[in-house]
Amino acid sequence: MKKWLLALVSIMLVAVVAACGNKADNSNAASGTDSNGAVTLRVGATAVPHAEILNHLKPELAKEGVNLDVVEFTDYIQPNVQLNDKKLDANYFQTKPYLDEQNKSRGMNLVIVQGVHIEPFGGYSKKYTSLDQLPEGATIAIPNEVSNGARALILLANNGLIELKDKTNITSTTKDITSNPKNLQFKEMDAAMLTRQLDQVDMAMINMNYVLEAKIDPKSALVVEDSSAPYANYLVAREDNKDSKAIQKLAKALTSDDTKKFIEEQYKGAVIPAF
């Protein structure tokens, strides 16, 4: 009898451990509908301005039966990887050229849902206050992935510091530089690290979300994109959920008059509504 009881207890313990393991495994999965019928959306975003904008929308979306779970990231890779793996329902942080490059290089098929805002990309320095002051052989830090690296080079080319084979090629690399009068030296690094390297380089080409996060004055840029740059930031989802009611409600909220007012008042021109 004791042996049977011991065996039964052992089986029960195994079942409990297995159940706990399953719960942990599912903790990273994108959420669904709760007992009250409200839908929870897990949306990946970088902290500023994307997560701030999403958090602003939470109360209004809750009234429409959508609970927004904002998951913040410090890099540009994981928000797409986790969306593709269905650990997120959507993400909001990237431009179309970047998404296209990631889909191609990583074999994903993530899709654009809605354009929301533009973040002018710029060059920043702690040593100089104008492009004319950059010395011969100056070190310029640029993002180390194709889309934003090309964005940096195109901006420099548009302002006469270098020449490229094709200034419209959004996958340009340093190998496409055809003229470099000042013999500028390019240092490629992770986009999230650029603000921390300003003391180590003459100028860094930085995405606006990292500029704002580091509390750098956007107006201090030595060079900055104008409104003609094709780099709106998009809400992105998968083919299997892009048309869902919850995703469409989020897209509508992101392009509402209230969101436009919030962006304009909160970021004072550093972030520009694209709708």
**Which tens digit of pLDDT belongs to each residue from 195-248?**
999 999 999 999 999 999 999 999 999 999 987 788 999 999 999 999 999 999
Q: How confident is the model at residue 119 (pLDDT cuts 50, 70, 90)?
A: very high
Return the minimum-mean-pLDDT range out of 33-37, 167-171, 206-210: 33-37
Amino acid at 29: A
pTM of the entire predicted model: 0.82
Q: Which pLDDT score is estimated for 35?
A: 58
Q: How confident is the model at residue 172 (pLDDT cuts 50, 70, 90)?
A: very high
Q: Which pLDDT score is estimated for 272?
A: 93
In angstroms, how far is CA 158 from the centroid of its own chain? 24
Sheet holding 39-46, edge to edge: 66-73, 39-46, 90-95, 232-237, 111-118, 272-273
Question: What is the spatial distance between Cα 135 and Cα 140, in angstroms, rounded to a whole number?
Answer: 11
Question: What is the spatial distance between Cα 38 and Cα 5, in angstroms, rounded to a whole number?
Answer: 44
As given in the structure block, the two tokens for residue 198 are: 């300003």
How does pLDDT run across 7-17, given as a tens digit for each residue? 444 444 434 33
How does pLDDT run across 39-50, given as a tens digit for each residue? 999 999 999 999
Q: Which pLDDT score is estimated for 227?
A: 72
What percentage of the chain has pLDDT greater than the value 70? 88
- Whether 71 has a pLDDT exceeding 50, the answer reads yes
- Residues 188-207: b if buried by 16+ CB within 10 A, e if exposed: ebebbebbeebeebbbbbbb
Judged by DSSP in three states, 27 sits in coil
What percentage of the chain has pLDDT greater than the value 90? 85
Contact 105, 244 (CB under 8 A): no
Question: What is the spatial distance between Cα 77 and Cα 99, in angstroms, rounded to a whole number?
Answer: 10
- Using alpha carbons only, what angle is made at residue 143 by residues 82 and 90, rounded to the nearest 5 degrees? 20
